[in-house]
A and B are shown apart, each in its own frame.
Chain A
Amino acid sequence: MSVNPEQRTGLVPRWARWIAVTSIVVFVLVPIGTLVIWSFAFRWNFPNILPTEWGLRAWSYTASDSSRVIEGLWNSTRLALVVTLMAIIVGLPASRALGQHEFRGKTTVEWLLMMPIIVPALVATMGIHQIFIRLRLTETLFGVALVHLIPAIPYFVLVMASVFANYGTALEDTARSLGANRYKVFRYVTFPAISSGLLVASMFTFLISWGQYVTTLLIGGGTFVTLPLVLFPFLSGGNNSTAAAISLVFVAPAIVVLVMTSRQLSRDSALMGGFGKL
């Protein structure tokens, strides 16, 4: 680039930039830092700014069977994996149709798919609960996964349609005209082009399932326990150290996802841009 970036955009004065950067750092890091300190606090009474005694009690309790954290971690993980896999299987063809093809009724299809993000899903979840009782799907992993798919599919399709639209069909047409069959076109042209977008979309689908609370509570009936269900009583019960430690376990995959995707999130405009085209 020949344009000097400092000179290119003079919209924000230096002092405003300083305030913005400071508030981002404080706003993001202070709550997370407080969680980390609390999880290692043994005694931390008001008005001490730091714990007066440190310890691993909260962490050893978190690792023990009685906290049910391990059980919740296992259930949350396999549940989110199932949801992600199902979202890819049913969502990928639809994203491609919406991203690369023009057809009659496209706007209607888009609106129908986006309904679960726009219309509060509470009534649907309650209705499904009663259907699932009859189908014996409550308190099962599969039943909970189906309900998690309701918010997961719209987000997945929104992001992937944008990825498909961004890369177009020209390369595939070329490959086909050079004699590549369907499998080869997908394996050597389509897949490499969408793979990084697919990875990000999949990870965010994983996190949608990972963060669900009320749907799991209702359909899981309290017997299928995921990590947020384990965490909630500690948050409202006021045991700060344990709540902080479990919160940090709960946030771990999010940090992994962030480290893996942050460069793409800010670089590839197709990924987040999809949300701006609703």
Chain B
Amino acid sequence: MTDAPMTVRRIRNGLKIPLMLAPALGLVVLLFGGGILVGLGQSLGYFPAIGLTDFTFENYTTVLTDRNFLMSLWLTFRIAFITTVLSSVFAIAFTLVLREKFAGSKITTFLFQVPLPVPHLVAASGIILLITQSGLIARIATAAGLMETPADFPALVFDKGGVAIILSFLWKEIPFVGLVVLAILQSVGPQYEEQARTLGANARQRFRYVLLPLIMPGVMSTSIIVFAFTFANYEIPLLLGVRFPSTLPVVAFRQYQDPDLALRPQAMAISIVLAVVAMLLLIAYRRLAKAAVK
């Protein structure tokens, strides 16, 4: 073989992977990165459409010193945090049951998967009809003699605690985390637990020292997806939450759509802060979780 074809082949092989990655990576980086750049520019004062070209931190100082912003940030964090913790805990609990074979285990596993493809708005729709003050649960409680008028039932929708929002998220996310955990358990197989049992480990020890370390990396990654999703979701808090305080995505979008274009740079600043806070929290979480696993 001569040198020339070798070089050609090497170049061709060297280009193979970049060419395979280019379309997907290009689209994501161009669209996502491009969008973020435009938003970042606007939040820093570059908005030629309304005659702004001077660099400024003003939008950030306005946003960050606003008490309402901090209340919204706290609400957004609280909802995402509670959803993430509860969905992981319930998912692990249900998985421990669903991986076993028992009469009806197949149909139960099927039911467990049902929420996965269902759109979030439909989940919210079903939850509303159940837990409003005149919802099905209130009606059943009335029939049981526990209450008399709708006002006796606690306000769970449009409440400051965001109970309906969290319930709607949980309805979708528990099965999501659960199915990932089931997949992990399936690929691992029962041999480690068998060994632990042979060595005399009881059920609690097998869970704590065998199962949990096996599934924790998977639960960690999935909970990152769940947290990021609930932290950034717009329509569920808009539909089920109070108008004030709203979650950050709702506030940012409201400002963005305001006829007063001068509010747009602030909307961008809010969204950038939202993204940065999410990133920082997730990096901290990964660090903590990795340290805990070691």
Q: Which residues of A contact B (CB under 8 A)?
A: 3, 5-6, 8-12, 16-17, 20-21, 24-25, 27-32, 34-35, 38, 46-49, 89-91, 93-94, 96-98, 101, 103, 109, 112-113, 115-128, 130-131, 146-147, 149-150, 153-154, 157, 203-204, 207, 210-211, 213-214, 228, 231-232, 235-236, 240, 243-244, 247, 250-251, 254-255, 257-258, 262, 265-267, 269-273, 275-278
> Contact: A119 with B228, CB < 8 Å?
yes
Per DSSP, chain B at the interface is: helix
Q: Per-position contact with A for B176-193: 1 when CB-CB < 8 Å, else 0?
A: 100111111011001001
> Contact: A24 with B20, CB < 8 Å?
no
Take A49-B136, A128-B35, A276-B222 as given contacts and tell me if A123 and B21 are in contact as well, using a CB distance cutoff of 8 Å: no
Q: Is B126 an interface residue (CB 8 A)?
A: yes
Choice from A8, A94, A265 contacting B21 with Cβ under 8 Å:
A94
Scoring B39, B119, B190 by chain A CB atoms within 10 A of each residue's CB, the highest score goes to: B119
CB-defined contacts of A265 to chain B, threshold 8 Å:
113, 116, 179
A-B contact sample (13 more), CB < 8 A, given A6-B102, A265-B113: A47-B142, A118-B278, A118-B282, A120-B278, A121-B232, A122-B252, A123-B35, A123-B39, A123-B271, A131-B34, A207-B119, A254-B117, A272-B183
Distance between Cα atoms of A86 and B253 in the complex (Å)? 28
> Contact: A91 with B24, CB < 8 Å?
yes
Q: Is B111 an interface residue (CB 8 A)?
A: yes
Q: Which residues of B contact A (CB under 8 A)?
A: 17, 19-21, 23-25, 27-29, 31-40, 42, 49, 93-94, 96-102, 104, 108-130, 134, 136, 138-140, 142-143, 150, 171, 176, 179-184, 186-187, 190, 193-194, 203, 206-207, 211, 217-219, 221-222, 224-225, 228-229, 231-232, 234-235, 239, 249, 252-253, 256, 267-268, 271-272, 274-275, 278-279, 282
Nearest to B37 among chain A residues (CB) is A127
> Contact: B112 with A28, CB < 8 Å?
yes
Choice from B24, B34, B176, B221 contacting A153 with Cβ under 8 Å:
B24
Take A21-B97, A49-B136 as given contacts and tell me if A240 and B129 are in contact as well, using a CB distance cutoff of 8 Å: yes
CB-defined contacts of A101 to chain B, threshold 8 Å:
17
CB-defined contacts of A275 to chain B, threshold 8 Å:
176, 180, 218, 221-222, 225
